[in-house]
Amino acid sequence: MGRQEKGDPGQGKQPFLTGPPFYLPEFEQSYRYIIDEYEVEPREIGIFIPCAVRKPYSTSPSHQLIRMIISQVLTPSQYHIIVFGTCGIVPAELEEMYPYAHYQYMLGKCTDEMIRQDFLRIETGRVAGYLEKTRDAYRYRIGYCLGLFREALIRGSEQAKVSIDLILPSRDRINKIIEEEDCSFQEGSLSMDEYLGEFCENLIRFRNSLENGSGP
């Protein structure tokens, strides 16, 4: 873990953080601000997506693809995007707040099982805390995630006793990718056409069920 000085327009000099961010006090302090002080504006749907290597997150190619699909299916007043993962958990509109735009880390490249398990434990707690805080802020919750991020979201949901109404990609689609595709990571990338297509189809189905009054 380390810190390097890096300029940040509008905020002066802020330390650029390296190493696993979930251990760093800066991320715990920012998490506590979100839980204890930040007011989350209620929306019908909360959509949870993983953090990205490129900062701010919304500039990453994967987030742009995911956001494009969401914006084509839902109206802005219907949903709220929440980013989670090695950053902890943060409403997307705070993506430029320190330290969320000031770190570089890829959990997927980590081979230390102790660090991976620490991440799962810490992130599960942070997800649970956010779900508890926003219990009444969202009517429905959707997750689009893979791997340890997905496991943390599921465990956090169970710990908080707040359900995730739809989690994608589906297990069947993930298993198909594992069996048939030659990917850098076992489950592939969320920006793969197979995953994005399923996400779009299910988001449309989810929207239609709400419009029909039948619920998800």
- Cis-peptide into 56, omega within 30 deg: yes
Q: For residue 56, is pLDDT > 70?
A: yes
What's the mean per-residue pLDDT of the chain? 91
Three-state DSSP string of 126-192: HHHHHHHHCCCCEEEEEEECCHHHHHHHHHHHHHHCCCCCEEECCHHHHHHHHHHCCCCCCCCCCCC
Least reliable range by pLDDT among 81-95, 154-168, 181-195: 181-195
pLDDT range class, residue 215, cuts 50, 70, 90: low
Q: Cα-flanking dihedrals φ and ψ of residue 44, to 5°?
A: -65, -40
User: In the beta sheet, which residues pair with residue 103?
Assistant: 17
Domain ranges, ordered by start, for the chain: 2-210
Q: How many CB atoms lie within 10 A of CB 196?
A: 20
Looking at residue 115, its pLDDT comes to 96
List the CATH code of the domain at 2-210.
3.40.50.10630
Looking at residue 121, its pLDDT comes to 98
* pTM over the 0.85 mark: yes
Encode pLDDT of 145-170 as tens digits: 999 999 999 999 999 999 999 999 99
> What average pLDDT does this structure show over 3-22?
62
